[in-house]
């Protein structure tokens, strides 16, 4: 069969299957991310139906997927909101970083993956999935709850940490010398600082440049600007994903709202390809040996996220039920964890087992997160009723 025809058939099969999996995820109330990863495992090497001849497209599409994921995440915040969130949540954010990175660091060192592996796996276990968390809060009607600003401020802090972490990770994975690494971090900090200052003082001009009343022109300008900024950021040894995130922050007001509406379908399409490509690059036969460690990490970091949310909500004067909801909302891991693992695997600077462990871990956490958020309220209410019953029983005996 002609090469082009075969590639089109394979791509069509992949996209159609992703659509079916996405619909199934919606039916059962879960994020589609774990199903996309499973789809990639099924189509990849060692899977049920190995595919070839589409690497050139899927590799570039997955890169675009990362850019769009981070661009739309940046569009959700203004620079002022980021600074406000940082002031409110820095203590909870630091607790979050320490508690949730520690299990990943410990497991990587126990497995003999060294400092680089520990740095990578610590980032994977640290960062919550903003996309899954936002969707779950919306689906459960909790966007107006008292604890929701606490959850969102922690997510904002995590996003800021990622804006620093990803450039450092890129430098570390590239095998850059200590001085070269310091230079890369310095450049990253300078770029981030300049962009945030521009976003604060001149964001309306950035918005005016990309804005247009014509939807086609607007789409071309905002999408082109995102790819351009991502490419320039990558050339300056700043993560392309961070470049897109910072552009999103610089675009504000009605322009950001319109851009989000326009870009969401593109993000969903290319992000799905990104998750599939990560699955394609992971041999499913490598997962069983690390599944036990993935379960250990899932249990440990579910507990640490709940502790983080509980403590932060308690500091905000929120009751026990709200504290429990805040902790459970933060449990899910997803897109950022896979981005980190993807960068590490692409650089070839970590053990091959890390990709398998990251895939298994994200599969578990992307499923556990929405479930935990749904069941935590009835469980807490049941526990409260049980405690009340015990107290009344004790009074009756006395």
- Give CA–CA dist 329/314, Å, rounded: 15
Residue 209 covered by a domain: yes
Name the domain count of the chain.
Answer: 1
Closest CA to 297 of 94, 114, 126, 41: 126
**Both structure tokens of 373:** 């958020």
Looking up residue 151, the CATH number of its domain turns out to be 1.20.1530.20
Q: Which residues lie below 8 Å from residue 146, measured CB to CB, with a gap of 6+?
A: 316, 318, 322
For residue 192, how far is the Cα from the chain centroid? 20
Asked whether residue 207 is domain-assigned, the answer is yes
User: Could you tell me the sign of the dihedral formed by the alpha carbons of 166, 169, 173, 179, in that order?
Assistant: positive
Residue 186: enclosing H or E segment and its boundaries?
helix 178-210
The answer as to whether 303 is a domain residue is: yes
Give Cα 377 distance to the centre of its chain.
24
Measured CA to CA, the distance from residue 269 to residue 226 in angstroms comes to 16
Could you give phi then psi for residue 332, rounded to 5 degrees? -65, 135
The structure tokens listed for 102 are: 């520690």
> Which H or E run contains 279?
helix 253-280
At 196 the three-state DSSP class reads helix
Distance CA 344, CA 321 (A): 39
Q: What's the domain range around 316?
A: 3-389
CA atoms within 13 A on the CB side of 52: 3
DSSP 129: -
Closest CA to 358 of 70, 113, 94: 113
| Of 299, 271, 273, nearest in space to 135 by CA | 271
Is 395 a member of any domain? no
Angle ∠(79,129,47) on CA atoms, nearest 5: 140
Comparing CA positions, the residue from 218, 203, 216, 212 lying closest to residue 248 is 203
The answer to whether position 397 is within a domain reads no
Handedness of CA 159, 75, 203, 166 (dihedral sign): positive
Q: What distance, in Å, lies between the first and last C-alpha atoms of the chain?
A: 85
Walk along the chain (398 residues) and give the pLDDT tens digit of each residue: 566 787 778 778 778 888 888 888 878 777 787 788 777 777 766 556 666 656 667 778 877 887 887 788 778 767 666 666 667 678 888 999 999 999 999 999 999 888 888 999 999 999 998 777 877 777 777 867 888 888 878 887 887 787 778 777 877 777 665 566 666 667 767 766 776 777 667 777 788 888 888 889 999 999 998 898 888 877 776 667 677 877 887 887 788 888 888 888 888 888 788 777 777 777 778 888 889 999 999 999 999 999 999 999 998 889 888 999 999 999 988 778 888 888 787 777 666 688 889 888 988 898 888 888 888 888 877 776 766 665 566 555 55
């Amino acid at each position: 069969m002609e090469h082009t025809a075969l590639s089109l058939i394979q791509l069509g099969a992949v996209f159609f299957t992703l659509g079916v999996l996405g619909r199934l995820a919606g039916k059962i109330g879960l994020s589609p991310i774990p199903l996309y990863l499973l789809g990639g495992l099924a189509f990849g090497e060692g899977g049920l139906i190995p595919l070839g001849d589409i690497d050139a497209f899927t590799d570039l599409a997955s890169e675009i997927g990362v850019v769009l994921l981070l661009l739309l995440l940046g569009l959700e915040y203004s620079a002022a909101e980021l600074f406000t969130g940082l002031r409110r949540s820095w203590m909870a954010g630091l607790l979050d970083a320490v508690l949730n990175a520690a299990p990943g660091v410990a497991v990587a060192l126990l497995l003999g993956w060294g400092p680089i592996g520990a740095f990578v796996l610590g980032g994977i276990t640290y960062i919550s999935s903003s996309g899954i968390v936002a969707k779950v809060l919306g689906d459960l009607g909790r966007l107006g709850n008292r604890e929701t600003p606490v959850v969102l401020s922690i997510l904002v802090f995590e996003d800021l940490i990622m804006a620093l972490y990803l450039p450092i990770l890129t430098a570390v994975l590239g095998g850059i010398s200590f001085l070269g690494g310091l230079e890369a971090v310095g450049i990253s900090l300078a770029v981030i600082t300049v962009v945030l200052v521009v976003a604060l003082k001149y964001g309306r001009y950035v918005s005016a440049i990309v804005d247009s009343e014509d939807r086609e022109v607007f789409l071309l300008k905002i999408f082109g600007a995102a790819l351009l900024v991502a490419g320039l950021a990558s050339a300056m040894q700043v993560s392309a994903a961070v470049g897109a995130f910072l552009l999103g922050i610089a675009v504000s007001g009605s322009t950001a709202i319109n851009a989000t509406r326009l870009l969401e379908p593109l993000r969903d399409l290319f992000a799905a390809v990104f998750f599939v490509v990560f699955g394609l690059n992971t041999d499913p036969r490598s997962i069983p040996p690390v599944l036990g460690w993935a379960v250990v990490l899932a249990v440990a970091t579910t507990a640490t996220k709940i502790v983080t949310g509980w403590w932060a909500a308690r500091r905000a004067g929120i009751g026990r039920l709200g504290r429990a909801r805040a902790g459970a909302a933060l449990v899910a891991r997803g897109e950022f964890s896979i981005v980190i693992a993807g960068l590490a695997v692409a650089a070839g600077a970590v053990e091959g087992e890390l990709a398998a462990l990251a895939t298994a871990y994200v599969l578990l956490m992307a499923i556990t997160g929405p479930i935990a958020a749904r069941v935590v309220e009835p469980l807490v209410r049941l526990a409260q009723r049980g405690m009340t019953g015990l107290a009344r029983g004790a009074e009756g005996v006395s």
